Chain A
Amino acid sequence: MKLSRRIILSVSIALVALFALWALVFYQSSKRRIYSRIDKVLVEQSDKIIGRFVDNDSLPNSISGMSGTVEFFIEKVSPEYAQNHQNLFFQTHEDYIDAIQDEETVRELNRVFEKQGIDYEIVLTTQVFAWNDTLDFAVFSIFTLAFALLLAIILIVSIIILNNMKPVYRLTEWLRNRKALDAIPEPDKRIKIQEFKEIETAVLEASEKSRQVYEEQKRFIGNASHEIQTPIAVCRNRLELLVDETQLDEHQLCEIEKTLDTLGYISRLNKSLLLLSKIDNHQFKEEAETSINQLVNQTLESLSEIYGTMQIRVSVDDRQSVTATMDPTLASSLVGNLLKNAFVHNKQGGSIDIILKDNALHIGNSGTEEPLDAAAAFQTFYKKGENTHSSGLGLAIVKAICNEYGYKIEYQFSENQHVFSVMFK
């Protein structure tokens, strides 16, 4: 929920509740005061009428009171009734009024008195509508005021929040789109709120720190990889000179060859790490339309030779042509690593099925009988089984390339085949 909506909602609920409560209290207390005044008038009028009645003076049909006429009538009552109704009795009820031809609220006073040993009861009624109208209007006014106040608050809060949050929204947007090596912008002078200023400062400082760490790490990987190449060259060349210049027996030569192989592996591992870090640093900027079909067929030619002894059946469905606009080095690395993966993790007499279709490349290969851990397979140095020659970087490189270009890569295990699919855009 947005902050502005939260504030508006809270204020609205509080305000409506407060005004409702206040209106209720106001209405009740006003009503009590009005009725007490009407009652006073009724008592005064009843005093006068009773006085005249006792003196046997003529009585008027009605008396005009504060809010209209006061009507009355007097009737005899039994001594028991009089005994039970000694107190003044007020009541309010709806009554049909001839003058306005409608039901109206009336206030009625029942009072028992005595004249020459005979008990009488006087009943006075007067309308209270004028008072009620005034009261209704007052309550209506209160609610109108409340509503207007609410609208004003919503408007003001919205304007304040919108104005002050804009830089915060901009900051969030920047943070979301930020790449690891982006320069850190100057603090936004438009931010006026202290808390937001502090958030901005914290965000910019954290970003700068992470940028520095990233740059440091990038430089370290690059330098380390380069520095390692020279000692590898030295080891390799010493062994090669040893072979060229010394008479060695077959066993010794065999050991040296194995050592050279391992050195070659270290060197390639190093290069793969360097490639991975370069991809992550967006250092491949060249873009060319590359035919994936052509790459697949070229790569297969070499791989089929290298893994010829495994007698793997390879089928390629390349009736549709698939192309991708990307760096040619990365394109060949992507296809090369995926295909190599299909050969390396295959079994003797296994199969590889390649389908180029709907701008996607699907490579399925036989191998282990159980599926790989799809999430872990693309991590660096993920190894399954005992293949010691696998660097565990191939699929990580594939994943990094796909991320770089926004291609989708999927792994599935179906019909005893491990299928990797790359969806080019």
Chain B
Amino acid sequence: MKILVIEDDNSLRELMHKALTDDNHVVETAANAKTAMMKAEVYDYDCILLDIMLPDGNGLDVLRQLKATRKEAGVIIVSAKDSIDDKVAGLDLGADDYLTKPFHIAELSARVKSVFRRKQQHGEHFIELGNVRMWPETRQVTINGQPVELLKKEFDILHFFMTRPDRAVSKGTLAEAVWGDYIDQADNYDFIYAQMKNLRKRLAEAQADIEIKTVHGYGYKLERQ
């Protein structure tokens, strides 16, 4: 996939470039709105990551121009602004997703994949990894073609890892993603173990060829067997 990263912060731009290149994408970068528009008009991209706060203009204006050129690129807005208004404004202008800073590398990778998937699958929203297939909207899972019943949190954890295979995820990141806002004052992550134990048991019982492995001292990682 060919991706354009529009971000004014050098360090973050470099990191996003590196992370996405590691995911086997072809990545180009732009540090301001002018360069971004120039590149976007000349080349075709599958996905554009767009920072809203740019030194020479509002990212939303760039988005408007992009949409006016009728390019097929999926757009993910990357912004430090977390307000609903900004999100709605961005999505109304035709952005496909909205990623709030500070984000995790795994999250970035997952969102890009999701945009790509939507473009490829033309409306059928499922994620497939090995013999496991899941439909996030209807919260269904099949393993080897057989439906599997998962509890709410188990499904959320599996969904989280299915979108970030082969990336180590820290316990804190997982907890924040699945348990949301309430997590910020938890003393320990014991509560993850119980859920993880059950989920692993269900995956093993259904003979899934993916496995959530423990990264000792850090967290977990989903791997294909």
List residues of chain A with CB under 8 Å of any chain B CB: 225-227, 229-238, 240-241, 243-245, 250-254, 256-257, 260-261, 263-265, 267-268, 271, 274, 278, 283, 299, 302-303, 305-309, 329, 336, 340, 344, 387, 389-391
| B142-190 at interface with A (beta carbon < 8 Å) | 153, 167-168, 170-173, 175-176, 179-188, 190
Contacting pair B101 A260 (CB below 8 A)? no
Q: How many A-B residue pairs have CB under 8 A?
A: 134
Among B27-35, B81-89, B113-121, B197-205, the one that faces the other chain is: B81-89
Query: Which residues in A have their C-beta under 8 angstroms from that of B188?
Result: 309
Contacting pair B180 A302 (CB below 8 A)? yes
Distance in angstroms between the alpha carbons of A183 and B15 in the assembled complex: 45
Distance in angstroms between the alpha carbons of A303 and B53 in the assembled complex: 35
* Interface: B1 (CB within 8 A): no
Contacting pair A237 B218 (CB below 8 A)? no
Contacting pair A278 B83 (CB below 8 A)? yes
Query: Which residues in A have their C-beta under 8 angstroms from that of B102?
Result: 229-230, 232-237, 263, 267
Among B38-46, B60-68, B103-111, B127-135, the one that faces the other chain is: B103-111
* Interface: B92 (CB within 8 A): no
Looking across the interface, which residue of chain B has its beta carbon closest to that of A250?
B217
Query: Which residues in A have their C-beta under 8 angstroms from that of B26?
Result: none
Query: Which residues in B have their C-beta under 8 angstroms from that of A261?
Result: 170, 172
A234's contact among B15, B191, B215, by CB below 8 Å, is which? Answer: B15
Query: Which residues in A have their C-beta under 8 angstroms from that of B195?
Result: 305
Distance in angstroms between the alpha carbons of A309 and B187 in the assembled complex: 10
Nearest Cβ on chain B to A317's Cβ, whole angstroms:
22
Interface of A is mostly: helix
Contacting pair A257 B172 (CB below 8 A)? yes
Distance in angstroms between the alpha carbons of A387 and B187 in the assembled complex: 9
Q: Known contacts A261-B172, A306-B186: does B9 contact A230 (CB below 8 Å)?
A: yes
Please report the total number of B residues contacting A with Cβ < 8 Å.
50
Query: Which residues in A have their C-beta under 8 angstroms from that of B84?
Result: 329
Known A251-B217, A389-B184; further 19 A-B contacts with Cβ < 8 A: A227-B80, A230-B12, A230-B80, A234-B102, A236-B102, A237-B16, A240-B105, A240-B170, A241-B18, A241-B105, A252-B217, A253-B217, A274-B82, A302-B179, A302-B182, A307-B191, A308-B190, A344-B185, A389-B187
* Interface: B11 (CB within 8 A): yes
Nearest Cβ on chain B to A253's Cβ, whole angstroms:
4
B11's contact among A234, A243, A274, A278, by CB below 8 Å, is which? Answer: A234
Query: Which residues in A have their C-beta under 8 angstroms from that of B181?
Result: 336
Looking across the interface, which residue of chain B has its beta carbon closest to that of A264?
B172
B179's contact among A244, A305, A344, A387, by CB below 8 Å, is which? Answer: A305
A-B contact list, 5 entries, CB within 8 Å: A231-B9, A240-B168, A256-B170, A302-B180, A309-B191
Distance in angstroms between the alpha carbons of A226 and B59 in the assembled complex: 15
Distance in angstroms between the alpha carbons of A200 and B218 in the assembled complex: 64
Query: Which residues in A have their C-beta under 8 angstroms from that of B172?
Result: 257, 260-261, 264
Distance in angstroms between the alpha carbons of A143 and B55 in the assembled complex: 84
Query: Which residues in B have their C-beta under 8 angstroms from that of A253?
Result: 215-218
B184's contact among A235, A250, A260, A265, by CB below 8 Å, is which? Answer: A265
Contacting pair A257 B82 (CB below 8 A)? no
Nearest Cβ on chain B to A200's Cβ, whole angstroms:
37
Looking across the interface, which residue of chain B has its beta carbon closest to that of A304?
B191
Distance in angstroms between the alpha carbons of A253 and B175 in the assembled complex: 17
Looking across the interface, which residue of chain B has its beta carbon closest to that of A243?
B168
Nearest Cβ on chain B to A174's Cβ, whole angstroms:
30
Distance in angstroms between the alpha carbons of A257 and B172 in the assembled complex: 8
Query: Which residues in A have their C-beta under 8 angstroms from that of B216?
Result: 250, 253
Nearest Cβ on chain A to B149's Cβ, whole angstroms:
19
Give the most central of A227, A240, A256, A283: most B CB within 10 Å. A240
Q: Known contacts A227-B80, A243-B218, A245-B22: does B12 contact A299 (CB below 8 Å)?
A: no
Query: Which residues in A have their C-beta under 8 angstroms from that of B215?
Result: 243, 253
A268's contact among B18, B83, B184, by CB below 8 Å, is which? Answer: B184
Q: Known contacts A226-B80, A307-B186, A308-B191: does B19 contact A260 (CB below 8 Å)?
A: no
Contacting pair B101 A232 (CB below 8 A)? yes
Looking across the interface, which residue of chain B has its beta carbon closest to that of A299?
B182
Give the most central of A263, A307, A308, A336: most B CB within 10 Å. A307
Query: Which residues in A have their C-beta under 8 angstroms from that of B83?
Result: 278, 283
Looking across the interface, which residue of chain B has its beta carbon closest to that of A232?
B102
Looking across the interface, which residue of chain A has its beta carbon closest to that of B51?
A230
Query: Which residues in A have their C-beta under 8 angstroms from that of B183?
Result: 306
Q: Known contacts A254-B218, A302-B180: does B104 contact A237 (CB below 8 Å)?
A: yes
Distance in angstroms between the alpha carbons of A302 and B156 in the assembled complex: 13
Looking across the interface, which residue of chain A has its beta carbon closest to that of B108?
A237
Nearest Cβ on chain A to B28's Cβ, whole angstroms:
19
Looking across the interface, which residue of chain B has its beta carbon closest to that of A262?
B172
Distance in angstroms between the alpha carbons of A299 and B180 in the assembled complex: 10
Q: Known contacts A264-B172, A306-B179: does B184 contact A257 (CB below 8 Å)?
A: no
Q: Known contacts A307-B186, A389-B187: does B81 contact A226 (CB below 8 Å)?
A: yes
A257's contact among B19, B80, B153, B219, by CB below 8 Å, is which? Answer: B219
Query: Which residues in A have their C-beta under 8 angstroms from that of B16?
Result: 237
Contacting pair B15 A237 (CB below 8 A)? yes
Contacting pair A234 B185 (CB below 8 A)? no
Nearest Cβ on chain B to A251's Cβ, whole angstroms:
7
Give the most central of A261, A283, A303: most B CB within 10 Å. A261
Contacting pair B218 A391 (CB below 8 A)? no
Distance in angstroms between the alpha carbons of A243 and B172 in the assembled complex: 14
Q: Known contacts A241-B18, A336-B181: does B82 contact A233 (CB below 8 Å)?
A: no
Nearest Cβ on chain A to B177's Cβ, whole angstroms:
11
Looking across the interface, which residue of chain B has its beta carbon closest to that of A233?
B102
Give the most central of A226, A253, A257, A390: most B CB within 10 Å. A257
